[in-house]
Structure 1
Amino acid sequence: MRRHSGQPFKKFRNSLLSRYLGIIGFALVFIPILIPVSFLASWGVNRAFFPASVPDKTEVVRSYGSGLQLENAWHNAASSLSGKTPEEINERLRALKQDYPDASMFWVDAEGLTRLQLPEQSGLPSKWTPEDAVAYMKHAVDSDPFTVVAFIGGKSQAAGQGFMVFELPRKNMKPLTGGREGDYRFYGFFIFLMFSFFILISYLFFRDIRKRLLRLESGMTRTGPNGLPVRVPLGRPDEIGRLEQAFNHMVDELDDSRRREHEEEELRKSLISNLSHDLRTPLTVLGGQLYSFRKEPLSDQGQQALALMETKINDLSGLIDHLLSYNLLASGRYAMNLEDRDMLRVVRVSAAAWYPLWEKAGIEADIDLPEDPLIWHIDEQGFRRVLDNLFQNLVRHAGSGGYVGISIEQRHRKTALVIADRGPGLGSLSPAKGAGLGLQIVDLLLREMELVRETVSYPEGGTRVYIYPLQ
């Protein structure tokens, strides 16, 4: 009972569903770890490959706030100097220099003369023109050092007292913690890498399923030397694995059934062959005894009984011959000598041999064959056997029509031999009437010679048998 109760869990554990749910569960558990790991990996890669951008810990880098803060502070300082004398402006710049020791400052009066510089700078014009001011401001935009130009007294003064300039290296605008804006530039890359890993696992999962299904399909459509589908190698014990196992079991059952069928066929053929040989000896003895009886004086009733027994013995002997021939043909042991022969000559010879029997049975023979030869690749003896069986069946089962016609016609764009009657005969034959085995022998012989028999019966009576090449 315990082992039975554990079977569903075992099947679920080995199923495709459980494997894919495991992949999804692993992804859901790993996502909370993914983000911090990506941050750390990005930080480590930046530290490893961009060490020059990391500030030296021995160097003290002073920070003065953001660019917006510095710009507002400088404009406020310039506005507070409205109406001040040059000495007061100089004094204010010296005080600001103490607040921003790493910055460079200077101011230009209303006449365009450069006044106080903290510290002294080379390259500044002593006398400023409007063109110099515009060129300087254009050059200072988004450059290093960070530059702020403010009108003394505010914008309302329109440079009536000149302007003052503040310059600060951009490194002094960064946080003192040493953080960098690009520390996590690889963060998106690592996120993409992690999700690509999960996509790859899902792709490999479904690719494996597709590969196994295609292998199973190939095993179902491809046949081996025995004509049966080939076995497929077993994979994991999941749904596809159980399907592969069931398919291999079916192939084994088919192979075993084919083997048993072959053994039974061989047994049947051996039984028919032995029985035919064993029956021939007593029939020969009976035939000899009946021949002896004919020398004895018998009444008319005795003579009729004797003739009936001879007829039945001959029929039985013919049936045994049919059994032997059918057994040889079915087993592929019937000797065939296929050669190019004039089929019409073989038909004429066979019809001439049967003509006295047709005349005795009151059957009118209408033979209309062309003089030109018709070459078929046939075994002459086997083809005569085909004609003999058909003529014999015609006499026995279509003799009431009193007619046999032998001619040549075009059938399905091929030249066909036609044997016709006007009775119920060949079209209504059945094994119960003794013609089934003979016609089977006819079809087997024609098949070996690559010929086809086609029989057409008409409601008003009469049958036409067409024989023509398969190719």
Structure 2
Amino acid sequence: MKPYVKTKFRNSLLSRYLIIIGFALVLVPILIPVSFAASWGVNRLLFPPAPGTAETVRDYGSGLDLETMWHGEAQALGGKAPQAIDERLRQLKREYPDASLFWVDSAGQTRLQLPERSGLPAKWSAEDAIAYMKRAVNGDPFTIVAFIGSKKSPGNQGFMVFELPRAHMYKSSTERNGDSRFYGLFMFMMFAFFILISYLFFRDIRTRLLRLETGMARTGPNGLPVRIAEGRPDEIGRLEQAFNRMVDELGQSRQREREEEELRKNLIGNLSHDLRTPLTVLGGQLYSFRKEPLSEQGREVLALMEVKIKDLGTLIDHLLSYNLLSSGRYALNPEDRDVLRIVRVSAAAWYPLWEKAGIEADIDLPDEPLIWNVDEQGFRRVLDNLFQNLVRHARSGGYVGISLAERHGKPALVIADRGPGLGAVSPSKGAGLGLQIVDLLLREMNLCRETESTAERGTRTYIFTAAPSPLVK
């Protein structure tokens, strides 16, 4: 495995959680006996054994062990003399000092009793044996009755009885409950510790993800997201690093954009000023040419040159205006003015040009004033650019309409034509600086422009305020 892959796996969230799981799996076989030992210790500490309980006497094993032992002894004593049976019972008494032993011969006579006890019949009848058996079943002391002799001929030599208090076989219920209670407590503590570790692990992941989300949603003074503190080099840490790299690249891109924009503005400004001087000289020279005797074709060429120089001058004016508007250096003085009056004055100035181009003007404006907060010179510039576009690109429709309508619940100035629409190909189509200047000027005056254009109905341009205002003031 490559060193990079090893480092990546070691710093992975998956590897950390696998370590937690592996740690739990390895410790379970160790913690279970440890929990049992701790439970036993706490039980001995909180529940010390009292005299006479199972903890202070001998433990002789389970009932199955005792039954196996006793039946084995009875079978081994088969065919033995009574003296041999007595001797063997005395030996067993020494091995089980807390037990009571006696045996009954084949005639029903009670023989040796260890220890001597009252209540036993000296001569056993069948009824006595049955009654004794019934009392001994599931009673205390624990009683075992075994016939002396082989399994093939049981009862030929009588039977022998083994009695042992059950306390010597099982622990008391109080101590058993204490053991299980504390064992369960320690097991619960073990699993609770594992759950706590898992909870802290996932809570840390959630906290870091929320911090990353907050960092992505927060922006700085430059409008870009801000860098966030980087944590451990795991998956989330690498995501934080990638986010910070993205923020740095966005900042560098924004800086390059500002530098390029500044360079472009300087270039447009310098070119505009540098081109204006030779254009002025050319215009003067063409004026001088008009005084010279020229042929009809020469006068037509001269007129075309004057038109193109005028168009170039207009383009330079557009470049200067666009440069000033985009850099925020175009001086505007908005005041409350009647825009309908401005429209009428501007339309009157353009009327001869429309008439010369064969365009019919249809001006339908109300007599009541429409007050907007605009810069009069800037609004005239907007109208001039729109009218100039109409003459250049929509003269084939032979129509210009100026009216007032409602747009989005606000009064809107409408300039309509019946030309081929914005999608049509125009031989005089330029870079679109005129409309860009219109949009920039309208934005500075808190106005909006919307355009609807189809090849069948022509183009309708709506100009309205960005904020609601009454139709007439």
The two structures have a TM-score, normalised by structure 2, of 0.71
Alignment partners' CA distance in 2, 1:255 and 1:432: 40
Alignment partners' CA distance in 2, 1:289 and 1:343: 40
Equivalent residues in 2 for 1:171-186 (5 A)? 174-175=167-168, 180-181=175-176, 182-183=178-179, 185-186=181-182
Deviations 1:267-319 (A, max 9, x none): 11111011111111222222223333334444444333332222222111110
> Is this contact kept in 1: 2:392–2:428, CA < 8 A?
no
| Residue 388 of structure 1: how far off its partner (Å) | 0.6
Instruction: Indicate which of 261, 265, 274 corresponds to 1:265.
Output: 261
One-letter amino acid of the structure 1 residue matched with residue 117 of structure 2: L
Deviations 1:136-159 (A, max 9, x none): xxxxxxxxxxxxxxxx968969xx
Confirm or deny that 1:208 pairs with 2:213: no
Any stretches of 5+ residues in structure 2 without a counterpart? 64-97, 120-126, 133-139, 142-164, 468-473
Q: How many residues align?
A: 401
One-letter amino acid of the structure 1 residue matched with residue 11 of structure 2: N
Q: Secondary structure at the match of 1:235?
A: coil
* Counterpart position of 1:195: 191
Alignment partners' CA distance in 1, 2:207 and 2:416: 60
Confirm or deny that 1:96 pairs with 2:117: yes
Relative to structure 1, is the Cα distance of residues 252 and 61 closer, same or farther in structure 2, using a 3 angstrom cutoff? closer
| Residue 344 of structure 1: how far off its partner (Å) | 0.9
Instruction: Indicate which of 318, 323, 327 corresponds to 2:323.
Output: 327
* Counterpart position of 2:308: 312
> Is this contact kept in 1: 2:217–2:225, CA < 8 A?
yes
| Residue 406 of structure 1: how far off its partner (Å) | 1.1
The two structures have a TM-score, normalised by structure 1, of 0.71
Alignment partners' CA distance in 2, 1:199 and 1:276: 74
Identical amino acids, percent of aligned pairs: 71
Deviations 1:198-241 (A, max 9, x none): 11112222222222233333333443333333333222222222
Q: Secondary structure at the match of 1:372?
A: coil
Instruction: Indicate which of 222, 246, 254 corresponds to 2:250.
Output: 254
| Residue 431 of structure 1: how far off its partner (Å) | 9.5
Deviations 1:311-350 (A, max 9, x none): 2221111100000111111222222223332221111111
One-letter amino acid of the structure 2 residue matched with residue 197 of structure 1: F
Equivalent residues in 2 for 1:2-41 (5 A)? 5-41=2-38
Relative to structure 1, is the Cα distance of residues 35 and 399 closer, same or farther in structure 2, using a 3 angstrom cutoff? closer
* Counterpart position of 1:454: 450
Q: Secondary structure at the match of 1:410?
A: strand
One-letter amino acid of the structure 2 residue matched with residue 303 of structure 1: R
Alignment partners' CA distance in 1, 2:354 and 2:170: 125
Q: Secondary structure at the match of 2:117?
A: helix
| Residue 38 of structure 1: how far off its partner (Å) | 1.0
| Residue 177 of structure 1: how far off its partner (Å) | 12
> Is this contact kept in 2: 1:455–1:464, CA < 8 A?
yes
Alignment partners' CA distance in 2, 1:63 and 1:440: 107
Instruction: Indicate which of 388, 394, 397 corresponds to 1:398.
Output: 394
Deviates more, 1:289-298 or 1:376-385: 289-298
Alignment partners' CA distance in 1, 2:249 and 2:51: 79
Relative to structure 1, is the Cα distance of residues 405 and 50 closer, same or farther in structure 2, using a 3 angstrom cutoff? same
Alignment partners' CA distance in 2, 1:457 and 1:200: 67
> Is this contact kept in 1: 2:50–2:56, CA < 8 A?
no
Q: Secondary structure at the match of 1:215?
A: helix
Relative to structure 1, is the Cα distance of residues 192 and 64 closer, same or farther in structure 2, using a 3 angstrom cutoff? closer
Q: C-alpha root-mean-square deviation of aligned residues, in Å? A: 4.4
Any stretches of 5+ residues in structure 1 without a counterpart? 85-91, 98-105, 107-151, 158-165
> Is this contact kept in 2: 1:75–1:154, CA < 8 A?
no
